[in-house]
Amino acid sequence: MKKKMSFYKVLCLVLLSAAGFGQDKGNLKLWYTKPASVWNEALPLGNGRLGVMVFGDPVNEKLQLNESTFWSGGPSRNDNPDGPRVLDSIQYYIFKGEYKRAQVLADKGLTAKQLHGSMFQSAGNLNLAFENNQGYTDYYRELDLEKAVFTTTFKVNGTTYKREIFTSIPDNVIVIKLSASAPGMLSFTAGFDGELQKYSGAIDNTTLQMKGLSSNHDGVEGKVKFDAKAKIINTGGTTTVEAGKIKVSRANEVVILISVATNFTNYKTLDTDESKKSSDYLTMAASKPYKKLLSGQLTAYQNYFNRVQFNLGTSAASKLPTDERIKNFAATYDPELISLYYQFGRYLLISSSQPGGQPANLQGIWNGSINPAWDSKYTININTEMNYWPAEKCNLPEMHEPLIQLVKDLSESGKETARLMYKSNGWVAHHNTDIWRITGVVDFANAGQWPMGGAWLSQHLWEKYLYSGDVKYLESVYPVLKSASEFYKDFLIEEPTHKWLVVSPSMSPENIPEGHQGSALSAGTTMDNQLVFDLFTKTVKAAEILKKDTALAADLQKLSNRLPPMQIGRYGQLQEWIGDWDNPDDNHRHVSHLYGLYPGNQINPYTTPQLFDAAKTVLVHRGDVSTGWSMGWKVNLWAHLLDGNHANKLIKDQLTLVDPVKPGHSGGTYPNMFDAHPPFQIDGNFGCTSGITEMLLQTQTGAIDILPALPDDWKNGSISGLRAYGGFEVNIIWKDNKAQQIVITSKLGGNCRIRVPNEVTLKGVPLKAASGSNPNAFFESVAIKQPLISPQAHNNDVVLKKTFTYDFNTQPGKTYILNIKN
Ligand code: FUC
């Protein structure tokens, strides 16, 4: 009897805590009272390979289609083989201070001669023209993030119409269900169109087909073929073919399945039979009833989505349509818009990045153009990395896999670039890449001459390991990490003044210092030093864990010691460059030297307070409002400066409604919640989702930091399912800005060190105040060189809010519940 009682008690406790971590069911919806009239009002669906933007127009429904491998050109490279002839001179001019000459020479001898990257292209549209829907009323349109289903309803002459649309992860097709409240009311004509179509017509009276070919670009012939098919499955009514389209008359209900495939096999090969592939997916899906397709998708999607629940409370402001809420956001109290935006970021990552597929590009997987901004490719001097900042901590590690694969691919293609252009070992990538994994210099030297893309991307290989502790995985990526380090081992060069080892030619993305003759080119920029330091440190640690390459690790350690220290300039700022060239009025969108603050962890208030203060000075100088992704980065940075109120201010800036037709110059959010650079760029969505997480949980400074940057007006809330380094999963409930309950599940065991804003207790286990360094190796911090400080610099003391740091030992598979100390 006694035993039973305690079992029920435990059960009640579990149920109670689960309720505490919940989010208001049914509120995770983007919804509108009008159809989309332009692309930035349409709503995105995706399964990692197929992307679709749905407009929800009752009369002329449009589904704009993307397939993640439909890119211009074909397998290609873009190395400039003249590199070795000009490299010495460029390095010489940079050290002499003749930056312009260096740039001119780099433009000739290092920048790609022709190919500046390929374009991700739209595959066209499926259009449904309805005969009788003019004069509709009671219009409603939503995207339900809990189900990943788009729904629109409206009435015409007393009949209620409904459209439900989703993309299926397991079945690889887009699924549309059209229904009406009365029989025989569905009459429409379906047809494909697309700017790159080569053929569009009907195969039979229920199947449409469109074939297309990607564009030629930068002198590379377009070789990607796509095949799109739509299968109409009607209940009641008839279907006939009319002028290459299918006319459906008086049906009761219609399911349409859309399948799109390309001939892409991998970045080197285009030998898949696109027509067979699209037919195979279609046939498989058509053999299942709609309900089964939907339940399959729900299971697959919710397995990812449901892992994190976030609740910031609600208010009357949340009762309005989403576009109005964004418009009102700065002037009202609408905390639920923040949790919606947060979960939208997770939704977008699940929908645009699935294991085995391509990583999310500048627009994720959604692009309505055949000539998009920046080719909608991969900009790897911030944007692509930012896309993946939420992956591990927001409990979507599987979504990180396409990026890890891209890094593996680049380590192959970039080896040739390192050899051809720089006569170096290892692999290198510059500031852009594409589906063909180009690794040369694109655009022009002032933007592209940055041989650090590989160094930044490689950090993700190690970061993934820190969350999972999976040594087998580490083993599989170690050769890539090692080879990235080997490039810098060869490429670093001694600069004449301090004899530091530096990367040259390079730049601080994409900023030009004043008095630099209009040239961005320089040597030993702060970000480059930080990236090489991190890369070497991580390679050395990985080698240690895997018991490999002792000699190489020793070499890398020695080289690492000779990298420049960070420097604090005359304004008290963290210097962006090797010289004290910063301008306090510079509000450039890139804040590259703050990589060391986030996503790097070389700067923190505990072990590097002077640098922490200098980083803050930079951020104050740069200002808040900028492009979408820049604001997204700043949310993370202010969170790492432990200033939740300022981070929250940036969220407000990011949630500023941007006109979808005439966007202006500042970043913000479109009515469909897509981030506006402008134009649409998805990094801002992902960056902000990451930043919100960093406000609630940080893991990089030797401890699990609970509510490190909680804004004053996020008084009460809860979040569950976040991941921290070392295999910990964390749930937090806070009340009156204090951590009320923290639930930590340990997957790997080991010491758990937590830093909390208030005192907590752990039932049955004595909590020790933490001291010394964290014995848990996943939280090992690295020693940073003392900064060099300008005699003119005025620095401020870092004043921190009081926190409580504890250690307790954990067992794998066990959960620990900490409560506020009363
Ligand atoms: C970099 C940024 C731009 C833009 C582009 C795609 O060049 O500087 O702001 O995000 O990438």
Which residue owns the Cα nearest ligand 1 atom 11? 379
For the Cβ of 592 lying below 6 angstroms from any atom of ligand 1, the answer is no
What are the tokens at 502? 């530096």
C-alpha distance from residue 531 to each of 458, 508, 527, 781 (Å): 10, 12, 6, 16
pLDDT of residue 259 exceeding 90, the answer is yes
CA atoms within 13 A on the CB side of 175: 27
CA atoms within 13 A on the CB side of 34: 8
More confident residue, 701 or 1: 701
Give the whole-angstrom CA distance, residue 674 versus residue 655: 10
The answer to whether 73 touches 387, Cβ cutoff 8 Å, is: no
Residue of 512, 681, 686 to test ligand 1 pocket, by largest number of atoms within 8 Å of CB? 681
Q: For residue 100, how far is its CA from the centre of ligand 1 (angstroms)?
A: 23
Q: Which atom of ligand 1 is nearest to the CA of 629?
A: 10
Give per-residue pLDDT as tens, 518-548.
Answer: 999 999 999 999 999 999 999 999 999 999 9
Residue of 444, 510, 666 to test ligand 1 pocket, by largest number of atoms within 8 Å of CB? 510
Give the whole-angstrom CA distance, residue 10 versus residue 24: 24
Q: Phi/psi at 718 (nearest 5 deg)?
A: -155, 150
pLDDT of residue 108 exceeding 70, the answer is yes
Residue of 116, 363, 374 to test ligand 1 pocket, by largest number of atoms within 8 Å of CB? 374
Q: For residue 379, how far is its CA from the centre of ligand 1 (angstroms)?
A: 7
Q: Tell the residue number behind the tokens 């730049």, with chain if given.
A: 507
Q: For residue 575, how far is its CA from the centre of ligand 1 (angstroms)?
A: 22
pLDDT of residue 488 exceeding 70, the answer is yes
For the Cβ of 510 lying below 6 angstroms from any atom of ligand 1, the answer is yes
165: Cβ–Cβ under 8 A, 6 or more apart, which residues? 45, 52, 54, 63, 149, 150, 151, 174, 175, 176, 177
pLDDT at site 665? 86
Q: Helices 644-654 & 628-640, crossing angle to 10 degrees?
A: 170
556: Cβ–Cβ under 8 A, 6 or more apart, which residues? 485, 489, 536, 539, 540
pLDDT at site 275? 98
Q: Tell the residue number behind the tokens 């060069």, with chain if given.
A: 493
For the Cβ of 627 lying below 6 angstroms from any atom of ligand 1, the answer is yes
pLDDT at site 370? 98
Give the whole-angstrom CA distance, residue 257 versus residue 274: 17
pLDDT at site 13? 39
Average pLDDT of the chain, as a whole number = 96
Tell the burial category of 213 from Cβ atoms under 10 Å away from its Cβ (0-12, 13-18, 19+). Answer: middle
The continuous run of DSSP H or E covering 292 comes out as helix 290-305
Q: Tell the residue number behind the tokens 């990526």, with chain if given.
A: 477
The answer to whether 753 touches 804, Cβ cutoff 8 Å, is: no
Q: For residue 509, how far is its CA from the centre of ligand 1 (angstroms)?
A: 9
Residue of 361, 375, 383 to test ligand 1 pocket, by largest number of atoms within 8 Å of CB? 383
Residue of 441, 446, 677 to test ligand 1 pocket, by largest number of atoms within 8 Å of CB? 677
Q: Which atom of ligand 1 is nearest to the CA of 509?
A: 8
User: How many residues would you count in the chain?
Assistant: 822
For the Cβ of 120 lying below 6 angstroms from any atom of ligand 1, the answer is no
Which residue owns the Cα nearest ligand 1 atom 1? 379
More confident residue, 354 or 665: 354
Comparing CA positions, the residue from 268, 285, 287 lying closest to residue 277 is 285
Give the whole-angstrom CA distance, residue 590 versus residue 573: 15
The continuous run of DSSP H or E covering 451 comes out as none
Q: For residue 113, how far is its CA from the centre of ligand 1 (angstroms)?
A: 21
Comparing CA positions, the residue from 668, 584, 597, 662 lying closest to residue 626 is 668
Q: For residue 632, how far is its CA from the centre of ligand 1 (angstroms)?
A: 13
Q: For residue 236, how far is its CA from the centre of ligand 1 (angstroms)?
A: 51
pLDDT of residue 295 exceeding 80, the answer is yes
Which residue owns the Cα nearest ligand 1 atom 8? 510
Give the whole-angstrom CA distance, residue 762 versus residue 756: 13
pLDDT at site 1? 34
For the Cβ of 374 lying below 6 angstroms from any atom of ligand 1, the answer is yes
Q: Which atom of ligand 1 is nearest to the CA of 510?
A: 8
Q: For residue 382, how far is its CA from the centre of ligand 1 (angstroms)?
A: 8
pLDDT of residue 291 exceeding 90, the answer is yes
pLDDT at site 764? 83
- The string of DSSP letters for 685-731 reads HHHHHHHHHHHHEE-SSSSEEESTT--TT--SEEEEEEEEGGGEEEE
Q: Helices 471-491 & 550-561, crossing angle to 10 degrees?
A: 50
For the Cβ of 379 lying below 6 angstroms from any atom of ligand 1, the answer is yes
Give the whole-angstrom CA distance, residue 695 versus residue 691: 6
The pLDDT-based confidence of 765 (bands split at 50, 70, 90) is: confident
Give per-residue pLDDT as tens, 577-613.
Answer: 999 999 999 999 999 999 999 999 999 999 999 999 9
Give the whole-angstrom CA distance, residue 239 versus residue 713: 57
The pLDDT-based confidence of 8 (bands split at 50, 70, 90) is: very low
Give the whole-angstrom CA distance, residue 569 versus residue 621: 13
The pLDDT-based confidence of 16 (bands split at 50, 70, 90) is: very low
Q: For residue 505, how far is its CA from the centre of ligand 1 (angstroms)?
A: 20
Q: Which atom of ligand 1 is nearest to the CA of 627?
A: 9
**Strand 124-130 with 738-746, pairing:** unpaired
The set of long-range contacts for 608-612, using a CB threshold of 8 Å and a minimum separation of 24, is 608/784, 608/787, 609/797, 609/798, 610/568, 610/787, 610/789, 610/795, 611/566, 611/568, 611/574, 611/784, 611/787, 612/641, 612/798
In 3-state terms, the chain is what percent helix, strand and coil (to 5)? 35, 25, 40
The answer to whether 187 touches 128, Cβ cutoff 8 Å, is: no
Q: Cis peptide before 679, with omega less than 30 degrees from 0?
A: yes
pLDDT at site 174? 98
The pLDDT-based confidence of 496 (bands split at 50, 70, 90) is: very high
Give the whole-angstrom CA distance, residue 316 versus residue 366: 32
Give per-residue pLDDT as tens, 165-174.
Answer: 999 999 999 9
Q: Please give the sequence-ordered ranges of beta strands (E in DSSP) within 547-682, or none if there are none.
A: 567-568, 668-669, 675-676
pLDDT at site 11? 38
Q: How many CB atoms lie within 10 A of CB 759?
A: 13
Q: Which atom of ligand 1 is nearest to the CA of 590?
A: 8
Residue of 119, 376, 379 to test ligand 1 pocket, by largest number of atoms within 8 Å of CB? 379
Give per-residue pLDDT as tens, 544-582.
Answer: 999 999 999 999 999 999 999 999 999 999 999 999 999
pLDDT of residue 153 exceeding 60, the answer is yes
The answer to whether 259 touches 66, Cβ cutoff 8 Å, is: no
Q: Which atom of ligand 1 is nearest to the CA of 681?
A: 10
First and final C-alpha spacing in the chain: 32
What are the tokens at 32? 């509108």
Q: Which atom of ligand 1 is nearest to the CA of 362?
A: 6
Give the whole-angstrom CA distance, residue 562 versus residue 550: 19
Q: For residue 652, how far is its CA from the centre of ligand 1 (angstroms)?
A: 22
Comparing CA positions, the residue from 179, 150, 157, 183 lying closest to residue 30 is 150
Q: Tell the residue number behind the tokens 């309803």, with chain if given.
A: 153
What percent of the chain has pLDDT above 70? 97
For the Cβ of 383 lying below 6 angstroms from any atom of ligand 1, the answer is yes
C-alpha distance from residue 765 to each of 9, 761, 816, 820 (Å): 19, 8, 9, 14
Q: Per the confidence metrics, is the pTM higher than 0.95?
A: yes
For the Cβ of 626 lying below 6 angstroms from any atom of ligand 1, the answer is no
pLDDT at site 22? 60
pLDDT of residue 17 exceeding 80, the answer is no
What are the tokens at 19? 């309720």
pLDDT of residue 787 exceeding 70, the answer is yes
Comparing CA positions, the residue from 311, 313, 312, 317 lying closest to residue 331 is 317
What are the tokens at 175? 């699924």
For the Cβ of 677 lying below 6 angstroms from any atom of ligand 1, the answer is yes
578: Cβ–Cβ under 8 A, 6 or more apart, which residues? 495, 502, 522, 523, 524, 525, 526, 564, 567
Give the whole-angstrom CA distance, residue 808 versus residue 762: 9
Q: How many CB atoms lie within 10 A of CB 818?
A: 24
What are the tokens at 179? 């229904």
Give per-residue pLDDT as tens, 359-416.
Answer: 999 999 999 999 999 999 999 999 999 999 999 999 999 999 999 999 999 999 999 9
What are the tokens at 714? 């996020």
The pLDDT-based confidence of 5 (bands split at 50, 70, 90) is: very low
Q: Tell the residue number behind the tokens 């604090």, with chain if given.
A: 568
C-alpha distance from residue 19 to each of 6, 16, 306, 324, 714 (Å): 20, 5, 14, 30, 19
pLDDT at site 462? 98
**Strand 704-706 with 750-756, pairing:** parallel
Q: Which atom of ligand 1 is nearest to the CA of 447?
A: 7
Give the whole-angstrom CA distance, residue 487 versus residue 458: 12
For the Cβ of 234 lying below 6 angstroms from any atom of ligand 1, the answer is no
For the Cβ of 589 lying below 6 angstroms from any atom of ligand 1, the answer is yes
pLDDT at site 618? 98
Q: Which atom of ligand 1 is nearest to the CA of 630?
A: 9
